[in-house]
Amino acid sequence: MSGGERDGGNGDGDDGRAGDEARTDDAYECPNCGERFGLERAVRSRTTGGLDPDAWQTLNCPACGSRVKTVFVGDE
Ligand SMILES: [Zn+2]
């Protein structure tokens, strides 16, 4: 047999990031007014970059309307 067997190294990546709740109410922070809000409060709109509107949506600040983040929603 050949001696160059390689296993690729890390097997199961044990990332150890438990406890980081994704369902917080303030997942996003508006860079304009500082409002913190979660997905449920975000005002959603289409992206401006020509991305697929079924897969990508822009989250806007519920307080001032500024665009905060573009998120992938294709799994919804
Ligand atoms: Zn804002």
- Domain count for the chain, please give it: 1
Distance 6 CA to ligand 1 centre (A): 51
Whether 15 is in a domain gets the answer no
pLDDT at res. 49: 82
Work out the percent of the chain whose per-residue pLDDT is above 70: 67
Whether 44 is in a domain gets the answer yes
Whether 2 is in a domain gets the answer no
Q: What is the pTM of this model?
A: 0.61
CA atoms within 13 A on the CB side of 34: 0
Average pLDDT, the chain: 80
Domain extent at residue 53? 28-72
Distance 32 CA to ligand 1 centre (A): 5
Distance 50 CA to ligand 1 centre (A): 24
More confident residue, 2 or 67: 67
Mean pLDDT to the nearest integer, 58-76 = 91
- Would you list the DSSP string of the chain? --S-----S-SS-----TT--S--TT-EE-TTT--EE-TTTSEEEE-SS---TTTEEEEE-TTT--EEEEEE-TT-
* Residue range 16-53, pLDDT digits in tens: 555 555 556 789 999 999 999 998 899 999 998 889 98
Distance 37 CA to ligand 1 centre (A): 9
Whether 32 is in a domain gets the answer yes
Q: Which residues contact 26 (CB under 8 A, 6 or more apart)?
A: 36, 37, 38
